[in-house]
Chain A
């Protein structure tokens, strides 16, 4: 009896000690910046991935319990980025973040993030299927730091009815994307048509060309339209093309002078802006691929019948029609425990499965990150996603991952603002931008 008891106690102790030893509990926290309800799959895809990964481990014979905790209720990018960086300093950073690819340069330098390539095989599915240019955008200084989470691009929009009233027939309006891509229809034509639209009373004064009301990657597109280059591919240094920058500022100044854009446009309320462009108050404007969904909520049920879209037209013969994609990326943050980094990297890899990523792409009106998504019914069945991918994504470039790009883009926008609002002439504004950039960026800048 005593023996039996001893044996069962021993067995009990063994079972008791063996089970927790086998099971491994991993807590993964995911913070997604700039995300609203329609972006919920940035976090939910990781939850689904956790379920799959647990099953994979279980088949390998390891019991891993992954708990995913997500957070996206940040008031803005500032709060999110401060939370992440200060958390990283204090050792309480989340395991995975969804953020702008521009954060890769400073965060990798500061040691806040770890390269995903240290944990996962980039040559294996699904990462091998991600568009190479997007993978490139998530890499920096020769290492693959992150995995693209979504892609988008920033098209130029036209209100069809206004275009028709300006004398373009249906076929010509349909041909606009091609005409823009080939450089036949340029920003000079935009200015001309917008002026006409205002003169004919088709749109109110200031509503001919109705740009984005705040700073963003979008404005670098207009610099590129006039032949500007953001980064020198040879040396990796940032480029200030004085002529292109001046022409780019001049375009906005001309638009104000012609009465097609308001001088006080910057700072317009975003809600007001969305409502106006979605309902035809503006003739031309520019935005992002995710605007498609927003226009519907603003009461425009017939996007295809009312709006045309294209690349941002070239400014002149030196420039090119272009669009910038500003993908968000999954980054794995540095942790005390390497095992968490490894699991986190495996999770973001699984979340990149075409089927999982398509859930996010379609729900939030973003574009695909992997080639195979074009063959997923959910993605292919969405006209906007397919057409936008076709028209825009092939010509899309991104802003450079560079430590000083933040200073560069701030200076560029400040200069634009000063010229646009009439505080300085374009030449004065560019001269000040140059001085500012030379002082803050120094030897990482090439002035042409």
Chain B
């Protein structure tokens, strides 16, 4: 029992990390995906308000036309109740003057009433006081913000709107987010969805193929090099992975831009100056696949190299005695023993490529013409990047949730298909 507790003790940092950095984000993604959350709804909840621009949409609801008319007609009404309050706070003379000239009149905007208060014979001179005075006459809910539904309903009661409409109006006035499945129907409806999906499939397949083949090539070729030289080469090919992504992609940008390295060298041979990364979508895909491919290949190289080293050298010596050449060694000894590392890299890289977008964001930002926009990048653009300001958190989360499901499905498939238990068993070489 004690050892079990101790084990939990040792595991707890990892469990906590898994909870906060994996489970919680996934849970939140699920929650967000079923809401219409955006910048304008806020995250923590909303308030109750109806403003002028919403009046148009209010007509499309079932609120009665009389109530809408009443809402629109209301403003700042010079009433006896308001005047009494005014007299109490700002003096009888001011109230009297206002009563004489304006009793029963309605001002559409507070600013109009403020002007009157400013131009009285006995004006309210201080701006703050004038606004407070004007607020004594408010009889509208348009443009006013109420923190709770109760406050809003109370205000509706005061303006004398038909109680039958209160529920609808309160629902309409809520500014916060609500639960909805509209994000998913929207995804199904958008013409861009299919394009992003096929872009993603293309990106994952191509990059993965490059990763594995190039990683294998590096591992095998450095295996046959003398020790120090091999390590130097491996260190060089490992650079893409250890460089910060921004720096790594910046170097690619210098390499490919209109006056960059490729353009200059190609210029010596008479090629017109062009941006080698963004010239066409083929250029962009090539750049994107290479940029990601080199990063993935370096990891593959390390993993495959150590796997090759685990092969007993006696087998290779024996094959040489039998007259096998290098290619035959690779084909019949090395590759068959590499099945598990290759499968592992394939499954691991598929999952990480599906969700990775940072290199694409930095390199092409999905261009040209959204041709390299992959699913994860679309999720980022929707949820966190928008020139016009209203970020669509809910829709972005719906994009992300689709990825979570694909990821989980693929993981299960891999575990079954590749027989995870066997992957974890002792290497056959040592049996």
Contact = CB atoms under 8 A, between A and B. Distances in A.
Interface of A: 77-78, 81-82, 85, 88-89, 100, 102-103, 105-107, 109-112, 117-124, 140-143, 204-205, 215-216, 235-237, 262-264, 266-269, 272, 342, 399, 402-410, 413-414, 417-424, 432, 435-436, 439-440, 443-444
Given A78-B384, A78-B385, A110 B39 contact: yes
B241 to A, nearest CB: 24
Contacts of A205: 272
B369 interface: yes
Nearest to A234: B56
Interface stretch (B95-103, B251-259, B320-328): B251-259
Given A100-B389, A236-B53, A406-B389, A85 B258 contact: no
A106 B145 contact: no
B229 interface: no
A141 to B, nearest CB: 4
Secondary structure at the B interface, as helix, strand, loop or mixed, is loop
Contact of B388 (A102, A118, A414): A102
B368 A107 contact: no
Given A121-B127, A264-B278, A266-B368, A141 B51 contact: yes
B181 interface: no
A82 B390 CA distance: 11
9 contacts: A123-B118, A141-B54, A263-B279, A264-B278, A266-B278, A418-B370, A432-B192, A439-B190, A443-B60
Given A89-B44, A264-B274, A141 B371 contact: no
Contacts of A237: 56
B275 A421 contact: no
Contacts of A235: 56
Interface size class of B (residues with CB under 8 A): 35 or more
A421 B389 contact: no
A77 B386 CA distance: 9
A141 B143 contact: yes
Interface stretch (B107-115, B291-299, B330-338): B107-115
Question: Closest 5 A-B residue pairs measured CB to CB?
Answer: A406-B388, A141-B51, A421-B369, A142-B52, A106-B40
Given A81-B389, A142-B143, A118 B60 contact: no
A396 B364 CA distance: 33
Contacts of B389: 81, 100, 102-103, 105-107, 406
Nearest to A420: B369
Interface string B351-393: 0000000000000110111110000000001001111111110
Interface of B: 38-44, 46-47, 51-54, 56-57, 60, 109-111, 114-115, 118, 127-128, 130-131, 142-143, 145, 175, 186, 189-192, 253, 257-259, 272-275, 277-281, 283, 364-365, 367-371, 381, 384-392
Nearest to B43: A89
Given A420-B369, A421-B368, A264 B275 contact: yes
A421 B253 contact: no
Contacts of A406: 386-391
A269 B128 contact: no
Nearest to B57: A443
A236 B368 contact: no
Contact of B370 (A143, A403, A405, A423): A423
Nearest to B135: A118
A342 B367 contact: no
B402 to A, nearest CB: 17
Contacts of B43: 89
A85 B40 CA distance: 10
A339 to B, nearest CB: 11
Given A106-B389, A119-B128, A406-B390, A143 B51 contact: yes
Contacts of A410: 381, 386-388
B39 A85 contact: yes
